[in-house]
Chains A and B, each alone.
Chain A
Amino acid sequence: MEETLRNGRTVRKPKKHKKMTWSLIKDQRQLIYMSVPLLAYIVLFAYVPIWGWTMAFQDYKPAKSFSDQKWVGFKHFEFLFKDDSFLQVLRNTLAMSVINLILGFVTAIILALLLNEIRKVFWKRTVQTISYLPHFLSWIIVTGIVATSLASDGIVNDVLLKLHLIKEPIQWLSDGKYFWGIVGASHVWKEVGWNTIIYLAAMASIDPALYEAAEIDGASRYRKMFHVTLPGIKPTIIILLIMSIGHILEAGFEVQYLLGNGLVVDWSQTIDIFVLKYGLAQGNYSLATAAGIFKTVVSVTMLLFANWIAKRLGEERLL
């Protein structure tokens, strides 16, 4: 299967069943030069640090060499699950993550459905452009805006007072019972517009004949949404759900870290903050690494589980 060209080079046509032979590797050396250094790079930055997981099974002391460390098995993991503060952190992480997940999906799908009903293209584009804006701002800026809006003389209390819904300003950020809601609302404010993009793209590719047919059957606007549009974007929703479920312990770090304060610490601390506090601030590397490993293991397990469920349901899947 060789061809000799004008310029005297020989070109090997790709075969269906190729064996990894030296001549093939030599043939493709340019591709190898272009990709193997990058492979080495990712191995160094993403895989080599996993070696550091050994710290979780030792009483790690930075001054000692690897062979001098004391191995302690699952001691740190046991400590974590007996530690009240870690259990509280786990509760916060799960609660905020579930709130964010549900709020995020529901609001984005509803907004996409409503945007889809807007007829004037210019108006629709304008609303979309504006709704993307917060997605591009950093959490630093967004939490600054949230803190300003929720201050005792902020716009939220202002509006509530003017509407006579409250008698005196609510101290939103100093009361733990509001914290999870504030984090959820901040996420919605920041991401809802952005999350509609993918749904709107899916809606645009639904066959118009389906709408025509539904209409001939006398379906109302709402029935069409429910029986044509929603089933049309179902695969998209499933894929996004699978991806989100893998991140169930990623309730975020920035929002909680930036908005949290001493008064709401029992509600605001997440696993990531716990790792930061124990690891880098207090130097308890072993415990912090154990918490990190726990997070990763749960994430991967949840991802595989969601993928398996999707497979059983015969839906689109990720892997």
Chain B
Amino acid sequence: MANPTITPGPASAAAVNKRIRRGSIEPIVFNTLNAIFMIVLVIVTLYPFLNTIVVSLNAGNDTIRGGIYLWPREFTWQNYKAVFASGTIYNAFWISVARTVLSTVLNLFLTTMLAYTLSRREYVFRKPITLIFILTMYFNAGLIPGYFLMKELHLINTFWVYVIPSMISAFNMIVIRTYIGTIPESLIESARIDGAGEFKIFIRIIFPLCKPVLATIALFVAVGAWNSWFDAFIYTSSRQELSTLQYELMKLLSSSMNANNNPAVAAGAGMTREAAASMVTPLSIRAAVTVVASVPILLVYPFMQKYFVVGLNVGSVKE
């Protein structure tokens, strides 16, 4: 780290820095301090999360005594058992999975289809439709009118309120459209000469070629759907069987903030009575639900890293 070694590769700022004033101590000091800073950053980012995992694996009645940092003192699976034994949380988990899968599939299909039509230069309605979609990025009608619309459409207290209102995102459409612009025109032309219709071109050519950008968008949409709780809180809170995992976690959070370590609250939060009486506490249950809610994301996101830049580098939205 502190000892510069010559690495082949593109001339980056770092590579150029390496060659400056070999005799001076400055690069060594800088690189050491920089490395220390990065290590601190990693610790600050990871510690709270690792600690949550440890708390979820430690007996709740022992955690209360404090002093749990990076290793469980009384190891137990009890918290996870309690979480999955609780019908409400188990059910909420599957609702979350269903809405995430459905949202992602619908979103990708519809947004890409729209992006393809709006990438066709000869399309007569290209400009007006694009503008109508882009404007939605900068304003919205607001909470109350939105609520009334859901009421009019009879979506309140239905599963579809999680999926239908957010089927297309203008931002994602722009990202995909920009990417479609990099696909050679000749591919589309030759398919057309072979007599393929627009829909067929979209399914057979555009969709497969957009894989890298669709991977990113799929991740964004899926994470967004998995993490959202506000719709459950506003639209479906009176129907327990439609509750999502994040919303259940939110209820646990607010109840444990108000009533620390009260078994009655824990029982109310959907745990079995014997679990509440044993070594499970609201805090340990919350930790376990937190881990369950973040595992799917932790499994996916590191593999998508190389695609992030594609998705974020939209540049400017110019027509």
Contact = CB atoms under 8 A, between A and B. Distances in A.
A274 B21 CA distance: 59
**Most central of A52, A116, A129 by chain B CB within 10 Å:** A52
Interface stretch (A6-14, A80-88, A94-102): A6-14
B129 interface: yes
Contacts of B199: 30, 33-34
Contact of A41 (B16, B42, B167, B193): B167
A69 interface: no
Given A46-B140, A141-B293, A28 B317 contact: no
A124 to B, nearest CB: 9
B34 A118 contact: yes
Interface residues of A, number: 108
SS class of chain A's interface: helix, strand, loop or mixed? helix
Contacts of A89: none
**Most central of B123, B192, B294 by chain A CB within 10 Å:** B123
Interface stretch (B79-87, B207-215, B265-273, B306-314): B306-314
Interface of B: 1, 4, 7, 10-20, 26-27, 30-31, 34, 37-38, 41-42, 44-49, 51-52, 66, 69, 110, 113-114, 116-118, 120-125, 129, 132-133, 136, 138-149, 165, 167-168, 192-195, 197-199, 202, 223, 226-230, 234, 246, 249-250, 253-254, 257, 283, 286, 290, 293-294, 297-298, 301-302, 305, 308-309, 312-313, 315-318
28 contacts: A18-B124, A34-B114, A35-B113, A35-B129, A38-B110, A38-B113, A38-B168, A42-B133, A46-B140, A49-B145, A49-B148, A52-B141, A52-B142, A116-B12, A117-B31, A119-B7, A119-B18, A120-B1, A123-B38, A131-B45, A201-B313, A221-B27, A239-B315, A246-B138, A276-B143, A280-B234, A316-B316, A317-B316
Given A127-B38, A193-B45, 17 more contacts: A9-B195, A11-B193, A18-B124, A38-B114, A49-B146, A55-B145, A120-B1, A133-B298, A138-B227, A155-B47, A201-B309, A212-B16, A276-B143, A279-B147, A299-B138, A299-B139, A318-B316
